[in-house]
A and B are shown apart, each in its own frame.
Chain A
Amino acid sequence: MTGTILTPGSRIGAETMEKAARGRSLWDDARRRLLRNKAAVGGMIVLGLLVLAAIIGPYFTPYDYDQINKDHVWAPPLTNGHLLGADSLGRDLLARLLTGLRVSLAIGLVATTVSLIIGVAWGAIAGYLGGRIDEVMMRVVDVLYSLPFIFFVILLMVTFGSNIILIFVAIGAVEWLTMSRIVRGQTLSLKHKEFVEAARAAGLGDAGIIAKHIIPNLLGPVVVYVTLTIPAVILAESFLSFLGLGVQPPMASLGTLIANGAQDMELAWWLLVFPSVTMVVTLMSFNFIGDGLRDAIDPKDR
């Protein structure tokens, strides 16, 4: 800008003016800060690779995840075409690991989406309507908060048998509580902003204001919380699987693989080590991304 003389009608002037007028949006700033954060970028790259491996990997392994090979029982890594070894039934660990990763990531994604929908709707409605309704809705959240939830999930699994859809729903239904609190808090501060009043003055109804103005503006904190919820969900599923209540064999998830690996660790260390490392790397990349996003979107702490 320095030294450029803005004469009316000149093209350089028009472009510069347009750029200045558009300015840098909050999201541009956030993206720039995020991309400067090495840990977050590393997390995104690693996570991208893991997701890719989970989606296409199972098609490229020499064995299927449930294929039993009597001759390959306890095959160590790098023997008989088992890159990561084989388990007590001679099943290929690499194939099982990729399938397990796929299942765990899918559970993380679906259950988080469930919690996202319930939590955002609940929090936004409570915060926006306020008064009695808010009080009642938030008291419900308080009560649910003080329940020993892992017990209820276990009871649910025992009651209805462990099928994978139920795991999605059960974990999602547990995780929405914090989301609804965050969303409510944000909504409370948003609803007195000028643009909401303007929308109301223009004749938009409550539902329209919540959908068009409140929810889009909640995006920042919600995105951050989502990236931190996915690993929490993956962990919760693994806990259940570890207790024998999650994904049922021959299907695999990271949790079941680690549980089986722990049983056989004296005989076959690879069954414990590779799934554990995958789990830790997955959780870490989510956490790095989540922390990076928080710093980027909400730079108060810098």
Chain B
Amino acid sequence: MLRFIGRRLLIAIPTLFLVITVAFFMMRAAPGSPFDGDRKLSPEIEANVMAKYGMDRPLHEQYGAYLAGVVQGDLGPSLKYKDKTVLQILQENYRVSLTLGLSSIILATIIGVSLGVLAALRQNQTTDYVVMTIAILGVCIPTFVTAPVLVLVIASKLGWLPSAGWNGGALPNLILPIVVLTLPQVAIISRLTRAGMVEVLRSNYIRTARAKGLPENRIVRRHALRAAILPLVSYLGPAAAGLITGSLVVEKIFNLPGLGKFFVISALQRDYTVVMGMVIFYAALILILNLIADLLHAVLDPRVRLS
């Protein structure tokens, strides 16, 4: 187990290295610089500023210096927000994205698995059709449609919930963004669970369990579910990526101070170091989630050996 984790972390290093390299050179290839403000700096001042951030050196030296910094856990200073390091900016803003992401994935898993199991147990009955219709709708209605529509109806017309803002993470402000992020995930998760469950319920060991006379709900919970949610566990990694995409839109619509919104703005402003920091943060997050998914997979399925 520990060896497996160690090896996976070792494999993660070249991946992160690649991420950093591609992002670094792509960002630098972009026209413009972080110091193109509304006011044109005089050439001397600009040269001074460039020298201060080491940007007067050849690109490969800058790249080397940046890599050396990252290895030591130093992501550098922000080029746009004076007196702030990238780490500080990440620390100030990750809470919003993390709160939204985690709550919606947990909610989506609970609701999605329950709906999926229900549909599978009542296969080809009304419940099944209702759940599958919800699932199809959830997949086909994108977040950038649900979000404005919900804001229009629930916030503007009915006035039940605030339409935007973070407000220190107050619950009413969180409800709409979380609902918007959760719906598509519920759809996918319930479909995966249903498919897995339908297959497992036909298998021999479930028939054996029935023959032994185990009560139905014990069969479902102890025997079937465990195998049926395997495909779901593999979905965890991509789900994280999906949440990131979703949260970019949700943060924009609900005007939340999260990382996604920050990323787009920083990229447009050529704040190189902040963009790099966020790319690294998210890449690491996805790698960790994939690792957790693989570990869970092994715990749930004794046939999978960690090697």
In the assembly, what is the distance between CA of A266 and CA of B148, in Å?
10
The count of residues in chain A whose C-beta lies closer than 8 Å to any C-beta of chain B is 39
Flag whether B107 is at the interface (Cβ < 8 A).
Answer: no
Contacts of B275 in A (CB 8 A): 155
A17 at the interface (CB under 8 A from B): no
Q: Does A83 contact B (CB under 8 A)?
A: no
Of A143, A151, A284, the contact of B140 (CB 8 Å cutoff): A284
| Interface secondary structure of B, over-half rule | helix
With A158-B30, A262-B253, A266-B152 known to touch, is A242 a contact of B245 (CB < 8 Å)?
no
Contact B15 A146 (CB under 8 A): yes
A146 lies within 8 A of B141 (CB): no
Known contacts A159-B30, A243-B252, A287-B140; is-contact A265 B264 (Cβ 8 Å): no
**Interface-side segment among B19-27, B72-80, B210-218:** B19-27
Tell me if B58 counts as interface (CB < 8 A to partner A). Answer: no
When chains A and B are docked, how far (Å) is the Cα of A82 from the Cα of B97?
Answer: 41
Q: Which residues of B contact A239 (CB under 8 A)?
A: 142, 144, 245, 248-249
Say yes or no: is A195 at the interface (Cβ < 8 Å to chain B): no
From known contacts A150-B248, A155-B26, A156-B26, infer whether A259 and B140 are also in contact, taking CB-CB under 8 Å.
no
| A159-B30, A239-B248, A242-B249 known; A152 vs B22 contact (CB < 8 Å) | yes
A168 to B62, CA, bound (A): 32
Q: Is the CB of B145 within 8 A of A258?
A: yes
Give B residues with C-beta under 8 Å from A: 14-15, 18-19, 22-23, 26-27, 29-30, 136, 139-142, 144-145, 147-149, 151-152, 156, 195, 198-199, 237, 241, 244-245, 248-249, 252-253, 263-264, 267-268, 275, 278-279, 282-283, 286-287, 290
- 19 A-B pairs besides A147-B19, A239-B142, A243-B264 with CB distance below 8 A are A147-B283, A148-B282, A151-B23, A154-B267, A155-B279, A159-B29, A159-B30, A231-B140, A238-B142, A239-B144, A243-B248, A258-B145, A265-B152, A272-B148, A280-B140, A280-B145, A284-B140, A287-B136, A287-B140
17 of the cross-chain contacts (CB-CB < 8 Å) are A146-B290, A147-B18, A147-B19, A147-B286, A151-B23, A155-B267, A155-B275, A158-B30, A158-B267, A239-B142, A239-B245, A243-B248, A243-B252, A265-B148, A266-B152, A279-B142, A301-B195
